[in-house]
Amino acid sequence: MAVLIVLEKPELWPWEVPQATMVSARDYLTDPEFVEMKRAKVFNLCRSYGYQSIGYYVSLLAEARGHRPMPSVTTVQDLKQSSLIRIVSEDIEDLVQKGLAPIRSDNFELSIYFGRNMAQRYDRLCQALFNHFPAPLLRAGFVRADEWRLNSLRPVALNEIPESHREFVVQQARNFFERPRLSSAPAKYRYELAILAGSEDVSARPSDDKAVKRFVRAAEKVGMDATIIDREDYGRIAEFDALFIRETTAVNHHTYRFARRAEAEGMVVIDDPRSIVRCTNKVYQAELFDKHEIPCPKTIVVHRENARQIGSSLGFPVVLKQPDSSFSAGVMKAANEAELADVLSSFMQKSELVVAQEYVPSTFDWRVGVLDGRPLYVCRYHMARGHWQIQKVEKAKRPNYGKVDTIDVDAAPPQVVDLAVRAANLIGDGLYGLDIKESDGRFLIIEINDNPSIDAGNEDGVLKDELYLRIMRCFHERLERRRQ
C-alpha cells in the first residue's frame, strides 16, 4: 500500500522519510495518478484543515477514493468542537495533573509530533491526546486555575514548528512510518482488519490466543491482512478498513470508544456501538423481551419503590443482575429476604435500576451464536461443578467453568435456534451469543451477549476452521458492499 505525505509545498519538508512519497496537495487532488490509485495511506500535513480549505479537501477526497487519511474528516471536525475537548480532558484527567504538576506558570503549550514530545516525561499525555485526535502535528494549550485543564487543541502547520524541533519531528515521522505493517501489507490483501485483543488477560477475553490466531489465518484466506492491536492503538484506527473486537465490552470502556471511532471513520465494525449499548444492559433487554413477547423467565425491573414486591412476585430463590453484568459476574442468587436486601443494597449503589428474575434451575444453558441474522453454532454450556452458573468465581483464584458441548446447528432443537435468531434480530446484524434455558418443555431466553465467547476447542467444535472463515467472510462481504 502506498504511503503519501501530502503538503501544500513539499519543499518545506526537504528530509527523506523511507517508505513514504512526498506529494503536493494540488497534485493529490487533481493528478489522475492519485485519483485512480486503489489503496493508499495519506498523511495530510497541510497548514489548515478549515472547512473547504485545501487541507480539508485532501482528507475528504482521500476518504471518497477509499484511501486512509490522517487526520480523517471526523478528526478534523472533532478538533473544532470545544465540548469534545472538554470531555477528553476529563478522560485523561490524571495524566494531565501528574504530567503538568511541576510547571510553575498558569499556561502551558504542548507540541505533539506523531504522538510524541521532545521531553519524554510528556509522552503518555501526548499519546493519550493523539489517540483521541489522531493528527500528525498538534499543539495543546493548558490553563491552570485550581488545577490544570485542556483549553485548546489544534493542528500545527510546518512553518510553526521551531527550527530546534525539526530534527525531532523528522525522526518521529520516520519511526511512525517504519512501524511494522504500516506500509508493507502484501498486495494480495485488499483490506486491512484490526483485531482488538491485546488489552486483557487472556482468561477474561472472549477468545483465547489460539482462537485469535485462527481468526488471523482466516482473514488472510479471504483476502484481508489482520493485525492484533490493543488499547494503546486507538490513534491507529483510521489506518484499517475494519475492526473486530475480541475483548469484553462495556459502555464506559475503551472497547466502546474503539467501536464509536471505527464507525465514525466508516469502517466495518463488530461489535458495533449500538450492539454494545443494547447487549451490555440487562434493563434494556428486559424491556425489549417484554415489548416483543420474547419468552423469558419472569422478570421485574427493580427500583427503590418496588423492591419489596420481589419476593411475593418471583419467589425464592431469586436471581438479581446488575444491568451491565457479564460472564456471570454481577449476577447473584438470593435465597431469602435477608440475602435479597443485602444484594440489592450493594447493586443499587452502582445503578438506579436492577433486574430481578425467577430462578430457573438447569444443568446447562443453550448458547446459540448468531451472525448477520443467521445461526452460526450451538453449544451446551454446563454449570460449573457444585455451582448454579456456568462460571464459578472464587477469590484469588481463576474462574472455574463447566464443560462445553458443541453440536451441529441442524441437530439442535429448532425452537432453540428460532428463538435465538428472532431475539438477535431485535439487536442488530452483528455477532451475538444467546443464552437460553430449557425447563419443562419451555425455552426461555436469558440474555443476549455481544462479543460472545469463541475459544479454540469449544464453540468451533463442529465447524472447526470454517467457523472462523464464516466470520471473516462476513467482514469481507460487508467491505465489498461498501466498496461497490
Residues 203 and 56 in one domain: no
Residues 177 and 206 in one domain: no
Range of the domain at 137: 1-184
Residues 169 and 306 in one domain: no
Q: Comparing C-alpha atoms, which of 285, 287, 331, 338 is closest to residue 311?
A: 338
Q: Per-residue pLDDT for 187 more than 60?
A: no
Provide the grid cell at 400: 472455574
Quick one: pLDDT band at residue 180, thresholds 50, 70, 90? low
Average pLDDT over residues 343-351: 90
Domain count, the chain: 3
Q: Cis omega before residue 271 (within 30°)?
A: yes
Question: What gap in Å lies between CA 136 and CA 156, rounded to an integer?
Answer: 9
Q: What is the pLDDT of residues 73-90, one digit of tens each?
A: 888 888 888 777 777 777
Number of continuous H segments (helices) and E segments (strands) in the chain: 16, 22
Residues 155 and 234 in one domain: no
pTM score: 0.80
pLDDT of 68: 87
Domain annotation covers residue 423: no
Q: What is the pLDDT of residues 117-135, one digit of tens each?
A: 999 999 999 999 998 889 9
pLDDT of 223: 94
Most confident of 38-42, 246-250, 397-401: 246-250
Q: Cis omega before residue 186 (within 30°)?
A: no
Instruction: Answer with the one of 307, 334, 359 that is the final residue of a domain.
Output: 359
Residues 179 and 198 in one domain: no
Residues 20 and 51 in one domain: yes
Domain annotation covers residue 366: no
Q: Comparing C-alpha atoms, which of 306, 270, 229 is closest to residue 479?
A: 270
Residues 176 and 66 in one domain: yes
Q: What is the pLDDT of residues 381-409, one digit of tens each?
A: 998 877 888 777 666 566 677 899 999 99
More confident residue, 228 or 329: 228
Residues 323 and 227 in one domain: no
Q: Where are the beta strands (DSSP E) in 145-278?
A: 148-155, 191-196, 224-229, 242-245, 268-270
Question: What gap in Å lies between CA 103 and CA 479, rounded to an integer?
Answer: 48
Domain annotation covers residue 372: no
Q: Report CA-CA distances (Å) from 12 to 6, 9, 160, 198.
A: 11, 6, 11, 39
Is 50 in contact with 77 (CB distance < 8 Å)? no
Domain annotation covers residue 381: no
Instruction: Answer with the one of 184, 207, 225 that is the final residue of a domain.
Output: 184
Domain annotation covers residue 172: yes
Domain annotation covers residue 433: no
Residues 220 and 113 in one domain: no
pLDDT more than 70, % of the chain: 95
Q: What is the CA radius of gyration of the chain?
A: 25
Q: What is the pLDDT of residues 439-451, one digit of tens each?
A: 888 999 999 999 9
CATH number of the domain bearing residue 346: 3.30.1490.20
Q: Residue 364: CA atoms inside 13 Å, Cβ hemisphere, count?
A: 13
pLDDT of 183: 45
Q: Per-residue pLDDT for 72 more than 60?
A: yes
Residues 43 and 177 in one domain: yes
CA angle in degrees (0–180, nearest 5) for 401-403-409: 125
Residues 166 and 204 in one domain: no
pLDDT of 350: 86
**Tally of CB atoms within 10 A around 57:** 19
Is 8 in contact with 54 (CB distance < 8 Å)? yes
Query: What residues contact 232, with CB distance under 8 A and at least 6 apart?
Result: 127, 131
pLDDT of 395: 61
Instruction: Answer with the one of 341, 359, 377 that is the final residue of a domain.
Output: 359
Burial of 259 (0-12, 13-18, 19+ CB in 10 A): buried
DSSP line for 50-113: -TTSHHHHHHHHHHHTT-EEES-HHHHHHTT-HHHHHHHHHHTHHHHHHHHTT--SSEEEEEEE
Domain annotation covers residue 453: no
pLDDT of 404: 93
Is 242 in contact with 219 (CB distance < 8 Å)? no
Residues 303 and 237 in one domain: no
CATH number of the domain bearing residue 229: 3.40.50.20
Burial of 349 (0-12, 13-18, 19+ CB in 10 A): exposed
Question: What gap in Å lies between CA 435 and CA 420, rounded to an integer?
Answer: 8
Question: What gap in Å lies between CA 60 and CA 194, rounded to an integer?
Answer: 23
Q: Which residue has the cell 464464516?
A: 470
Domain annotation covers residue 464: no
pLDDT of 216: 97
